[in-house]
Amino acid sequence: MLGLGASAVAVGVALAVTKMPELPNTGPALRTDPLADGTYEAGLDMAPGVWHTDGPRDVHAYRPLPDYATVSRCRYRLVSADGNGSPETQETVAAVDVKLAPKMKLATDGCKGWRYLGPLG
C-alpha cells in the first residue's frame, strides 16, 4: 500500500505486433464445372484455360433413305479479347478442345457439356 508522498514505479512492457501479410484479392472462384449452351467470357464467367467437349449432345437414328443419317452438330465460336476471332461458327461431330485466354468468349450450342481440363500452359 502506498502512502501519501510515496511514488509508484511503472514497469513498461513492450509488445511486438507482427503485421500479417496481405493476401492478393483473387475475387470469387471462377467456374470450372461443365458448361451448357450459352456464351461465356473467360476470366468473368469461367476460368481461362483449356476446355473440352465430347462433341454433339445427340446422334439421331438413320433416316429411311439409304446412306443418309441425321447427325447433330456441336457448334461453337471463339472471340478474342479484342473482339476479333473466328467470324464463322465452327461445327464438329467429334470431341474438341479449345484454349481460352482471359477475356476471350466462347459461344456454344448443341454440344455436350464443356469440361475444364486445366490452365493454359
Of 117, 119, 116, the C-alpha closest to 102 is: 119
Amino acid at 53: T
Total-model pTM: 0.66
Give the span between the Cα atoms of 118 and 18, in whole angstroms: 37
Cβ 47 vs Cβ 69: under 8 Å:
no
pLDDT digits over 50-94, tens only?
Answer: 999 999 987 554 455 555 556 678 999 998 877 766 656 788 889
Task: Identify residue 118 by its one-letter amino acid code.
Answer: G
Q: What letter does residue 70 receive in the DSSP assignment?
A: E
Angle, CA 75 vertex, CA 74 and CA 80 arms, to 5°: 135
